[in-house]
Structure 1
Amino acid sequence: MRTEHEVPAPGGGRLWAERRGAGTPVVLLHGSGMDSRLWDAVAPALARHHEVIRYDARGLGRSTTPQRPFDDLEDLRAVLDHFDLARPALVGLSMGGETALDLTLAHPERVAALALIGASVSGHDWPPSPGTTAYTEARHRGDAAALAALELSVWAALGRTAPGGELIETMVTDNAARRITSEYHLTGAPPRNAESQLARVTAPTLVIHGTHDHPEIATIAHHLATTIPGAHHHLLPAADHYLPLRTPEQLTSLLLTHLT
């Protein structure tokens, strides 16, 4: 059975969420500038074995636009509490992986397992580049069209004709303007530094990234895999940052094995 929900967000507003399947619970977190459609090709297969919850982060997809500072970690806690999930597995991509890792460190008793896909990590010092500079400038200008074009050129390197390409382009374009507002209010979250605490992670951890992802994501993935105790690392070919839409079958297989 599939059901849709509106989860009250801390401080006001609501988070759109979907629940499907039965079994041990798994929560799927998408990345910045995306929404839960990222998991369209993965969630149904996972739900044949697990209770699967996916949701749109604050201000993205079908969730309401923030009116004041908010914290993605507290939003995740609100989702877990709404569905009465005492100890689910967390599967996060990019920003979603960062949030999942931050929660795992802050509340280890609430996380049964962790999967980090093309993940960012709080406390990481990203090297300056023309791409990051252009991102910052587009945000400051409020230029949604430029931000969407940068997202697609930098992070969806395999292009529109690769698997999932049309949905990726639609999702990025739909969220570009809303992303600017959301990220403006996200600056209210307290600073965190998971990178310096990786050795404290006790949840069984799977680290995945694609061969065509941003080079810095590969650097982060290597550091996660070699520093988190017992972590397993997989590199998937023919995948960029939008890995769940590029190679859903391979990703689902890895996740099911890890979550068993």
Structure 2
Amino acid sequence: MLLAHDDEGSGPAVVLLHAGVADRRMWDAITPALAHTFRVIRPDLRGFGETPMPAEEYADADDVDALLASLGVTDAAVVGSSFGGRVAMELAMLHPARVSSLVLLCAAYRGLEPTESVRTFGAEEDRLLEAGDVGGAVDLNVRTFLGPEAGVAARELLTQMQRRAFDVQIAADQAVPGPAPRRVEVDPTAIAVPTLTVSGAHDLDHFRSVARHLAEQIPGAEHVELEWAGHLPAMERPDAVLALLLDVLRDDPTVHAP
């Protein structure tokens, strides 16, 4: 199955992988300017946006690899937000030749135990979904994952994207048989490309710890914390994240100035 996607601009390829509360629309404010310099490819992963979630075994990293192959892209810089950051690392593990560099924005990672704040969030989300209160679960995610810099438009867009994801995924999970995501183990010490990990000072403590841990474990990786950011800096202050990405992708020596 080929992922729904946008493919804009020309030049070196950059893949933007969305967060698990969003879809490819989360990059709308960044893509036009980025596409002046790069070929920007942004897919909807399975169960998000316009990509369905069929009843079969799959790995998100394999889906991204297949998409790049179909587009004739041999390798790309991969930017992943939250869940998309985990998929980016999985791509680097399963298909290392596809990845020339990584930017991990508040990445998800299974290698650290969840903190109390994450467990509390997860329990409340489960409670709301089990009660059939999908709207309440959407609101919970928007409140939790958008930082103080996010405006009304960002909150409205995230509400739409998270609602869409819940609708698709709940329907898929109720099917028999249902989808079967394949777990991919990530060994950060085996990632061998230039990597920047980014955290937000207003994010949940778990994700801040993940960013620091990955920077310590991935050979040569560096870490920057954005003092203004929550969990989704690309939606909260897209201009600032665009500037950061342009510096990273152009290999600017001032890249790590937040």
Bin of the TM-score, shorter chain as denominator length: 0.7 to 0.9
State the match for 1:188 in structure 2: 180
State the match for 2:38 in structure 1: 50
**Structure 1 residue 30 corresponds to structure 2 residue 18:** yes
**Structure 2 CA distance, aligned partners of 1:56 and 1:242?**
17
* Aligned 1:114-193 pairs, distance under 5 A: 114-128=102-116, 129-141=119-131, 143-158=133-148, 161=151, 164-181=154-171, 188-193=180-185
Structure 1 residue 151, shift from structure 2 partner: 0.7
Name the SS of the counterpart of 1:112 in structure 2. Answer: strand
Aligned-residue sequence identity (percent) comes to 30
Q: Quick one: which amino acid aligns to residue 165 of structure 2?
A: N
State the match for 1:212 in structure 2: 202
> 22, 35, 48: which is aligned to 1:60?
48
Structure 1 residue 33, shift from structure 2 partner: 2.8
1:29/1:54 contact within 8 Å kept = yes
Unaligned stretches of 5+ residues in structure 1: 1-8
**Structure 2 CA distance, aligned partners of 1:74 and 1:137?**
32
Unaligned stretches of 5+ residues in structure 2: 251-258
| Change beyond 3 A, Cα 1:127–1:159 | same
State the match for 1:229 in structure 2: 219
Structure 1 residue 142, shift from structure 2 partner: 5.2
**Structure 1 residue 79 corresponds to structure 2 residue 61:** no
**Structure 2 CA distance, aligned partners of 1:210 and 1:46?**
22
Structure 1 residue 166, shift from structure 2 partner: 2.6
CA distances 1:79-137 after superposition (whole Å, capped 9, x unpaired)? 11111111111111011110110110222222111110010013433235321112233
**Structure 1 residue 16 corresponds to structure 2 residue 16:** no
**Structure 2 CA distance, aligned partners of 1:186 and 1:98?**
22
State the match for 1:5 in structure 2: none
2:202/2:229 contact within 8 Å kept = yes
Coordinate RMSD, CA, aligned:
2.3
Name the SS of the counterpart of 2:6 in structure 1. Answer: strand
CA distances 1:160-219 after superposition (whole Å, capped 9, x unpaired)? 64672332233223333224345789972333331xx21111110011122211111101
State the match for 2:245 in structure 1: 255
Q: Quick one: which amino acid aligns to residue 45 of structure 1?
A: A
| Change beyond 3 A, Cα 1:239–1:159 | closer
2:92/2:191 contact within 8 Å kept = yes
Structure 1 residue 56, shift from structure 2 partner: 1.0
How many correspondences in the alignment? 246
State the match for 1:112 in structure 2: 100
| Change beyond 3 A, Cα 1:138–1:193 | farther
2:56/2:179 contact within 8 Å kept = no
Q: Scaled by the length of structure 1, what TM-score is found?
A: 0.85
CA distances 1:49-97 after superposition (whole Å, capped 9, x unpaired)? 1100001111211122423343212211121111111111111101111
**Structure 1 CA distance, aligned partners of 2:205 and 2:192?**
27
1:97/1:119 contact within 8 Å kept = yes
**Superposition misfits of 4+ residues, deviation over 6 angstroms:** 183-187
